[in-house]
Amino acid sequence: MSISEKKQELGSGRTREKPEKAPSPKEEKKDTSIFGGKPGMKASKFMRLLKEDGSLYSKTDLSSARREELGKKLFGSYGSHIDGREIGNTKRELALGKWGKFKDFSQRDKEDAEILIRELEK
């Protein structure tokens, strides 16, 4: 037996194959926001969902007319397309209080708008 044969013999016993890793099951998060996993939507569809979505009523206790009214006040100036960024911008403007874009809102409007935005962000 030659030296190279001995090395092969010894080497073959030492090498171990790494066990294959089982793919970890990734949990898919279900998007429960009004966008349904999409980055944004047309403003007309967004306003219609605000008005007609029954789950928003159960979460916010705001009537469809009230949600529609708030939607026009809050998101009416954003144009023809609304995405999650606009909801965040609206939340920040509401937080500014009397210095923000919604300084003319009554206290009731501000409270209802905060409830609605909180549910839209989820």
What pLDDT shows up at residue 48? 92
State pLDDT tens for residues 6-22.
777 776 655 566 666 66
Q: pLDDT for 34-82, tens place per residue? A: 787 888 899 999 999 989 988 888 888 899 999 999 999 998 887 889 9
**Does residue 29 carry a pLDDT above 80?**
no
How high is the pLDDT of residue 120? 87
Q: Which residue has the tokens 């939607």?
A: 71
- Cβ–Cβ < 8 Å for 87, 120: yes
Predicted structure pTM score: 0.68
